[in-house]
């Protein structure tokens, strides 16, 4: 009887220990635990045709924008910032949620180079991003050109 009680106690302690260890396992971030096919990726590189030093405080932003909105500010599906130091080209990889795409809308990838909030250079490229799982979309080179001057306000 004593042996049976000892075995039962050891078995209960083992099960309890296993449950405690499982309970201490790290919790996965729900964002990271989602299936990879929920996200799409657009890759490419930002280049300039002229060889010149970039301003010291230059920041390049690459974004996927929804062009279909009547609103002057298009919706942003994904973006990334690149510090403008170092040699060109600047490679980029953008991630977007496939379920944020709206059927019938048009999208573009846009790169801007700004210094102290003022856009100096701009590149735009219409793209077809996919709401269905598939390979990443490579847009190749986004060529920065001088940004058009802002209209003067009266």
Alpha-helical runs (H) found in 2-136: 2-23
**Binning pLDDT at 50, 70 and 90, where does residue 14 land?**
very low
**pLDDT tops 60 at residue 2:** no
**pTM for the full model?**
0.68
**pLDDT tops 70 at residue 1:** no
Cα 68 to chain center, whole Å? 21
- Contact at 8 Å (CB) between 119 and 112? yes
- Give tens-digit pLDDT for 120-151: 999 988 887 777 667 788 899 999 999 888 76
Locate 23 and state its tokens. 């309970």
> Coil, strand, or helix at residue 33?
coil
- Contact at 8 Å (CB) between 123 and 145? yes
Nearest to 46 by CA among 94, 118, 96, 97: 94
- Residues in the chain, total: 154
- Give tens-digit pLDDT for 55-90: 778 899 999 988 887 666 778 889 999 876 777 888
Locate 86 and state its tokens. 């170092």
Number of C-beta neighbours around residue 48 at 10 A: 17
Rounded-to-integer distance, Cα 132 and Cα 135, Å:
10
- Give tens-digit pLDDT for 32-49: 445 667 888 899 999 988
């Amino acid at each position: 009887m004593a042996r049976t009680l000892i075995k039962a106690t050891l078995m209960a302690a083992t099960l309890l220990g296993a449950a405690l260890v499982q309970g201490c396992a790290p919790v996965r971030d729900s964002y990271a635990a989602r299936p990879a096919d929920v996200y799409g990726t657009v890759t490419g590189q930002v280049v300039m045709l002229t060889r010149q030093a970039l301003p010291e405080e230059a920041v390049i932003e690459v974004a996927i924008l929804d062009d279909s909105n009547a609103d002057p500010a298009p919706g942003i599906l994904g973006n990334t910032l690149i510090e403008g130091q170092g040699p060109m080209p600047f490679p980029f990889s953008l991630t977007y949620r496939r379920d944020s795409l709206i059927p019938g809308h048009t999208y573009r990838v846009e790169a801007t180079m700004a210094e102290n909030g003022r856009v100096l250079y701009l590149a735009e490229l219409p793209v077809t991003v996919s709401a269905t799982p598939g390979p990443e979309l490579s847009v190749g080179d986004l060529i920065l050109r001088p940004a058009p001057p802002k209209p003067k306000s009266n």
